[in-house]
Amino acid sequence: MTPIEQQIEGIVDGILLDYQNHRDIDKLNLFRQPDKAVVIDMIDKLLRIVYPGFYRDRSYRMYNAKHNLSMLIEDVMYNLNKQITIVLEGMTAEENPEEKAQALSIAFFREIPKVRAVVQTDVEAFYDGDPAASSTDEIIFCYPGLYAITVYRLAHILYTLQVPLLPRIMTEHAHSTTGIDINPGATIGKYFFIDHGTGIVIGETTVIGDHVKVYQGVTLGALTTRGGQSLRGRKRHPTIEDHVTIYAGASILGGGTVIGRDSVIGSNVFITSSIPPCTTVSIKSQELQYKPRTCTGRCETCEKPEPFWEGQKEADS
């Protein structure tokens, strides 16, 4: 027996003893916690429902749309009902969690046609707003922004139904997949377009109107989080009215901050107060410095190019 094998039993006993401290991190009953893998699997199946013909499971070989949809809904309904029951039992004082979970699952699925109607406007906004898009099919198949928005819209239904934890698991999965962080509590209107998307943050109490376009690196955040849980339930994030464009790297902060309709927010601006409608906000042009440098390649002004890297002199000799 190796020294490591001799020590393992003692290490196991020590960690098991540490589990008995009754801290938030010491929960041992796996069957009383939601299963992230199951939630992620539900997202994949919900996308097949929202976008029939774009997301396919090879295990479903039925060509009849009704039978295929029935199998998908039955599968997701079973798992959603189970996951909602678990979070209600663990995080609320609900007296009949199983009965409540069934009602919430049914209410969720009844909202799917409304989600699909709004998602169609998002697809149109992407196509109309991006000259690089060759078709709406390309957008549905390829664009991470649309993926993040669709997952958000599904999670937002559960959020409005006051289902604990599951909506956040859904949007954080989309966040880890796309780099786009949309809290499920945000309110986002129709024709929402995220271009590129990486690094976008949209906080819980953000309100976004219709026909809004947001570029990569934009933060719609809170002015401060020092108050911690005492700030819960307050309007902490900005309101963006209709037909606003927000360019890359802009930060718009504060619950009282309103960006008026038809405004354009330029790249890298930092805004903490309201902007009236029909306003363009931009940073004053920065002063650029130009310094001559030795050319690294042969050109008309440089007959003897300097080496591109230090070791090139030795390599060329």
Question: Looking at the predicted structure, is the pLDDT value of residue 189 above 60?
Answer: yes
- Biggest distance spanned by C-alpha atoms of the chain: 84
Strand order in the sheet with 213-215: 193-195, 213-215, 245-246, 264-265, 280-281
CA dihedral 252, 258, 262, 266 (to 10 degrees): -20
pLDDT recorded at residue 293 = 73
Burial class (CB in 10 A: 0-12, 13-18, 19+), 222: buried
Quick one: pLDDT band at residue 64, thresholds 50, 70, 90? Answer: low
The pLDDT tens digits for 203-225 are: 999 999 999 999 999 999 999 77
Token duo for residue 176: 């880890």
DSSP 280: E
* Residues ≥6 apart with Cβ < 8 Å to 44: 55, 57
Highest mean pLDDT among 62-76, 118-132, 286-300: 118-132
CA 200/CA 197 separation, integer angstroms: 6
Find tokens 């959020």 and name the residue: 159
Structural class in CATH, domain 1-179: mainly alpha
Digit-coded pLDDT (tens) for 264-305: 999 999 999 999 999 999 999 888 899 887 766 666 666 555
Q: Give pTM, 2 decimals.
A: 0.86
Candidate from 16-20, 25-29, 55-59, 181-185 with smallest mean pLDDT: 55-59
Q: Where are the domains of the chain?
A: 1-179, 186-317
Given this structure, which CATH class describes domain 186-317? mainly beta
Of 100 and 295, the structure prediction assigns the larger pLDDT to 100
Average pLDDT of the residues of the chain: 90
pLDDT digits (tens, 9 = 90+) for 43-55: 999 999 999 877 6
CA atoms within 13 A on the CB side of 205: 16
Q: What tens digit of pLDDT does each residue of 229-240 get?
A: 877 888 999 999
